[in-house]
Every structure is written in structure tokens, then in C-alpha cells.
Amino acid sequence: MIRWLRVVLPPWWAVILAGFLYTLFQSALLGLEWYFDLPLFGLMDTEKEVPALVMGQFAFGYAVYRVWAFHPALRPGYFQWLCGTPWSSVKPLPLGPLHLVWQDVILLALWAGLSWPRAGLQSLNVFQVFLFTYLSLLGLPHFVTGQKSWAYAVAFGVGVMALVARNPWLCFGAASVTYVAAFLGLRASLASFPWEGTPLFSRFQRRMQQELKSKESAGQNPGPNQGTLGWPFDHLGPPHLDLTGFDRRDRLLAGLLLGWWFYVFYSLARSADSDWYGAHVCYSIFLVLGIAFRVAIYCNGYLPPLSLLGRLGHGRPIIPGYDQVFIAPLLALAVGAAVPLVPWATGLDPLIAVPSAVVLTTWILLLMGPSLQTWRLTGYHRITPGVMTTTQMR
């Protein structure tokens, strides 16, 4: 039995640590029940979610382990070793399966059973926590390894799971559909191993290899400037932030996905008294961070040809060749300013208005020109050392 479970069982130190923490938690509760002369397992009759939450933490850790320890795209050493073998997707992965197996069901049922005396039906949350975490993490490598459509499908499906989380049956139904998408994406991803034609994974792999080589360099600290030429040569070349693997379709879907997840979280957190205020605050934070990120990416190291005083002195308050980069942030800011007015003027539910504004804001910030490459190569600016720019050649 142990050998059968060992296929997906975490390392022994992790199992022993989890057992110790669980024993410590239960011992503390049993001690309190004995001290206050309470019935056995009766200390938390009205707060059954507490022991369920504790066991949910173990399910979360196990889900992270199941994806991180078995996916070759997330482990550079495993990936390199697998590239040197005759492995193909028709064979099982050497370190263990990435898809769910019966051993997972047995382990999760065991954890749910350990919390059942105190949590009752709340112990089934162990399965929900595991599936939510497992599917979320499994969808991320799909995007990097070229299976973007399946990655977006999993991301939208996980949102449906969160939206119906209070109904276990609906949640498990949504999880089943999402798992089918994740499994099909996994099979397609492994079939294209070693993902040589995938730009995103190629860059990710190069970074991992650089880190491995840095660790192998005895007594050398490569520092933060490894792989750069220094200023101004880096700025004269292609953009640092290479978004060739994030095309227009990805940006459109990213906007829809952010709006969908904002709708999900808002639906779960809204209340009759403060739903609009909370939604507006969250959207305002998102708007400020999005605008700040876009301006920082475009303007860090690329300053206007004239300072503010120079503009006023020469009678050129607006320099179109440079100020074009502020059109998208200003338009996004206009959308944010209109958000409070739309429900008031039209009666539209903020639950619909605010996520729609999130989608529109994301599209403006990600899709509206000029492109980063066009701006850096043809923009009317002067190149200066940025905040995180290397000023010396190595």
C-alpha cells in the first residue's frame, strides 16, 4: 500500500511535519475540552470551518507539490535530464504523473476523514481547496509551453469554481469541466515537448539555465547585471521587455479574464451596505497600478527632449512625438473617472459596470499604441540611465 501511494506521496519529512502539526492542533483542542469538561470533539461545534481551514492548508500544500514536483517545465534540472532521454508523451513521466490518479483521491479522503469528527461536512472543503489550487497552478505552464487556449479555458473555469464555491455540487461540476480542459492542455503540452518552438518557454528556459550556470560558478557572484552590456548600449538595442509571446489575442483575452475575475471576487465579497464602495476602491487601486506600470515601462530611461521649464520657455507645452505615450494612460484615467457616473446616470448595477471598466481599462493599457518597440526606436525622446539601468559595461 505504501509503495502504491509513494507514486504521489510527498517527501517523508513533509509527511512527518504535517503529522506533527496535525497532532499538535488536535492535542491542543483535546486538552482544552478536558480542562473545561466539554464533550469529546465538542469544542468547535459552532465553528466547524476552523478545523476544515486547517486541513485545507495541508490540501493547498499538497496541490502545490503535485504540480511543482512533477512538471518538467517548472524544474530546470528535470527538464534538462528529460531532454537527454528517449522519453515521449506516450510514456509516463519518470518522476510521477501530473494528472490526477486514485492515490490523490485516497490521500485527500484521508485528510478529510481526519477533520470529519470536528468539521463534519465542512471537511469536504479539502477537495475544493485542492482542486482550486491544483487546477490554477496546472494552467500556468500551459501558457508558457504554447497551449494558451487551454490555459485561458482553465483560468475562466477556475473562476466559475470560485463563483459557485458555496454550492459543493456545482463547484465539483465546474471542477470536472475545468479538469477536462486542464488535462487536454496537459496532453497537448507534453506532446510538444521539449517546447523548442515556444518563445515564452525559450526565454524562461534561458533564464533558468543562466541561474544554474551561476550557481555552478564556484566563488563567483554574477550580481544583478549579468547578461547586460550596460548603458547606453542596452537602450540602443531591442526592448528589454520582450512581449513577442504576448500578442494581440492574448491581450484581448487578458482583459476579459481580469474583468471576469473582478466580477467573481466582487460577487463573493459584495454586501448590501458597502458593495459599491468596495468595488470602486478595488478598481481605483487596479487603475493606479496599471497606469503607473505602463508609464514606468515606457518612460524609465526615456525622458522628454525638453524639461518642463524648457517647454514653457520655448512655447512648446506639448511635444507630440513624446507626449503620445500619455494618451493611453489619460484615456484609462478618463474611463476610471466615468465609472462612478455610469451607475448613477443609467442605473446599471456596479457588479456589471465595474468589471466592464476593468476590461476596457486593460485593453486601453495593453493594446493602445505606440508599441514599446516603436516607441523606443523612433520616439522623440532622450535616452538617460533609468532607475534600474546598468551604467557600466561588464
For residue 209, the model assigns a pLDDT of 64
First to last CA, the chain: 57
State how far the alpha carbon of 297 is from the alpha carbons of 224, 304, 305, 307, 386, in Å. 19, 14, 18, 20, 10
Query: What residues of the chain score a pLDDT lower than 70?
Result: 1-2, 38-52, 204-245, 271-277, 386-394
3-state secondary structure 21-49: HHHHHHHHHHHHHHHCCCCCCCCCCCCCH
Side chain identity at residue 96, one-letter code: G
Q: What is the DSSP letter of 302?
A: E
Residue range 216-231, pLDDT digits in tens: 554 444 444 444 566 6
Helix residue ranges, H only, the chain: 2-5, 12-35, 49-68, 76-83, 102-119, 125-144, 148-163, 168-191, 199-216, 233-236, 248-269, 275-299, 308-314, 320-323, 327-338, 341-346, 350-367, 372-378
For residue 265, the model assigns a pLDDT of 86
For residue 273, the model assigns a pLDDT of 52
Residue range 253-305, pLDDT digits in tens: 999 999 999 999 888 877 545 556 677 788 889 999 999 999 998 888 888 88
For residue 174, the model assigns a pLDDT of 95
For residue 359, the model assigns a pLDDT of 95
For residue 231, the model assigns a pLDDT of 64
Q: Is the pTM of this model over 0.75?
A: yes
Q: What is the DSSP letter of 10?
A: P
**Which residues on neighbouring strands pair with residue 303, listed in sequence order?**
382
106 and 62 Cβ atoms separated by less than 8 Å: no
